[in-house]
Structure 1
Amino acid sequence: MKVYIRLMLAMMVVLLISACGQTKDQSADEPAILDVKIDVKSPIELQKKTEIACIVTYGKEKVNDADEVKFEIWKQGNDQHEMISAKSKGNGKYAIEKTFTEAGTYSVVAHVTARNMHNMPKTDVIVGDNAGSASKHEESGSDHSHHDDAAGVAVTLHPQMFTVNKEEPIVADIAYNGQPLTAAKVRFEIWKDQMKHEFIDANEQGSGKYQAKTVFKEKGTFSVKVHVETNELHEHQVKQVMVQ
């Protein structure tokens, strides 16, 4: 009887060790996501050097060896876009210095390529004390006259991990000036590399939550552009998701 009990205890120990090992292996096999957060103050003073930066991470790792980091900057209502290469400052930070000479609302996109992935988050900043009124005056009558309202739009996309060839919901939580944005028209534009872009209309679930279902037919990193429209604003932000 004692021998039997000892054998059972030994088998339980082996099973526990095996289970722990599988858990560690599974965690190690889970691919990380390239995440980019833009760091810039707003409003920005005119005629003064201002740092525009982003923090690049891959999972829990700070990325200091990105293949390329550039900032695309343009004044809303102006077709001229400026592309500036950023320098690494260490600890995952990449930055440029720019002096703005005209008041208005500007869009800033960080183009980051690292770990065989690409991420391009966007934010809007106000330059000068009277930037809001100046921007509205310059863009009045144009199709983009409501863009300067988009500075307060925040989009959170989840989940960030999908399974290939499986229909799953993709959800965007959208806030405007810190409050859930309701009654908006939301579309997901999805693509990978040079693949054809797919557009999917999202349904509102309440409290600023918009959802659609999709099937990713390939593994890899996909870009998802979330288009947000209301009578007052028209905004889009690009996120990245991983399909395995």
Structure 2
Amino acid sequence: MKKVYAFLALLMPSLFLFAACAQEKNGEKPAILEVKIEAADHIELNKETTIACVVTYGEEKVDDADEVKFEIWKHGSEKHDMLKAKNEGSGKYSVTKTFTEPGTYSVVAHVTARNMHNMPKKDIIVGQEPEQQHENAENHHNDGHSGHSYAGLSITLQSKEYVANQSASLTAQIAHDGKPLTNATVRFEVWKNNGKHEFIDASEAQAGQYEAATTFQEKGTYSVKIHVEAKELHEHQLEQITVK
């Protein structure tokens, strides 16, 4: 009997491999679990807000996920809220939340379905710019600068006000464990409202200081996401700037 079990144990992987090869020969690709978060980039303070995600498996919308939860926390805070999502059908799951403090928040959708797990992340800004700027100033020793820290990583956007149709320099000071982070890959992702997202590669002007030149064509409030990659580190920070 032990020989039979041993034979089956050797046979099963071959059967799965054969099935996968047959799928590829038929032009079929194994489906994957995909999760897309639906949330505004900028959310009003003290107003009930819906945060949702759409779950798909290949071309199928998943209505029977084993678990969908949203983890939400404010940058710099140790408190993380874990909210169970409501199934709205057609692959959509949602929660409602009222944000009572301004600042930058992270939202992670934890989704388990089809024996897979996916957990995409999105950053959002809550509250008006003056309130956020005041909060950020308290987190940094230089007035007018904004700063946040993630597990020893500090990202500081030096200026948050620019003039339309004039050459502008986006500058970020980046440190890790209190020391300038050098030789990192840094990109600025810039967009206004629901417009096109522009990616601008930054260069290291000096140790830990990364700069990118651009020109803002229109006045208004823009979102700027700073992407930082170095070795095994991959982080980003969302900010807002004003163009006058």
Give the alignment's TM-score, normalised by structure 1.
0.52
- Per the alignment, residue 201 of structure 2 pairs with 182
Verify: 1:143 aligned to 2:162, yes or no. Answer: no
Q: Distance in 1 between matches of 2:24 and 2:32?
A: 18
Q: Distance in 1 between matches of 2:59 and 2:37?
A: 17
Q: Distance in 1 between matches of 2:78 and 2:64?
A: 32
Q: For the structure 1 residues 81 and 184, does the alpha-carbon distance in structure 2 shift closer, same or farther, using more than 3 Å as the test?
A: farther
- Per the alignment, residue 106 of structure 1 pairs with 105
- Contact 1:87/1:95 (<8 A) preserved: yes
Q: Distance in 2 between matches of 1:184 and 1:67?
A: 45
Q: For the structure 1 residues 97 and 104, does the alpha-carbon distance in structure 2 shift closer, same or farther, using more than 3 Å as the test?
A: same
Q: Distance in 2 between matches of 1:43 and 1:107?
A: 12
Displacement of 1:136: 1.9
Tell me, what secondary structure is at the counterpart of 2:27?
Answer: helix
Verify: 1:72 aligned to 2:71, yes or no. Answer: yes
Verify: 1:133 aligned to 2:142, yes or no. Answer: no
Percent of pairs identical after alignment? 54
Q: For the structure 1 residues 39 and 67, does the alpha-carbon distance in structure 2 shift closer, same or farther, using more than 3 Å as the test?
A: same
- Contact 1:111/1:121 (<8 A) preserved: yes
Tell me, what secondary structure is at the counterpart of 2:43?
Answer: coil
Q: Distance in 2 between matches of 1:138 and 1:125?
A: 20
Verify: 1:95 aligned to 2:104, yes or no. Answer: no
Q: Distance in 2 between matches of 1:148 and 1:38?
A: 26
- Matched residue type, 1:98: K
- What is the CA deviation profile of residues 155-184 of structure 1, one whole-angstrom value per residue up to 9, with x for unaligned ones? xxxxxxxxxxxxxxxxxxx77122334358
Q: Distance in 1 between matches of 2:91 and 2:188?
A: 27
Aligned residues: 148
Q: For the structure 1 residues 75 and 24, does the alpha-carbon distance in structure 2 shift closer, same or farther, using more than 3 Å as the test?
A: closer
- Matched residue type, 1:182: D
- Per the alignment, residue 83 of structure 2 pairs with 84
Tell me, what secondary structure is at the counterpart of 2:137?
Answer: helix
- Per the alignment, residue 235 of structure 2 pairs with 235
Q: For the structure 1 residues 98 and 148, does the alpha-carbon distance in structure 2 shift closer, same or farther, using more than 3 Å as the test?
A: farther
Q: Larger relative contact order (C-alpha < 8 A, sep ≥ 6)?
A: 1
Displacement of 1:26: 2.1
Displacement of 1:75: 0.4
- Contact 2:32/2:58 (<8 A) preserved: yes
Q: For the structure 1 residues 84 and 184, does the alpha-carbon distance in structure 2 shift closer, same or farther, using more than 3 Å as the test?
A: farther
- Contact 1:76/1:148 (<8 A) preserved: no
- Contact 2:76/2:149 (<8 A) preserved: no
**CA RMSD between the two structures:** 3.3
Give the alignment's TM-score, normalised by structure 2.
0.52
- What is the CA deviation profile of residues 83-136 of structure 1, one whole-angstrom value per residue up to 9, with x for unaligned ones? 001011011100000011111110100011111111111011111113541442
Q: Which runs of 5+ in 1 are unaligned?
A: 1-21, 150-173, 186-226, 238-244
Tell me, what secondary structure is at the counterpart of 2:46?
Answer: coil
- Matched residue type, 2:109: A
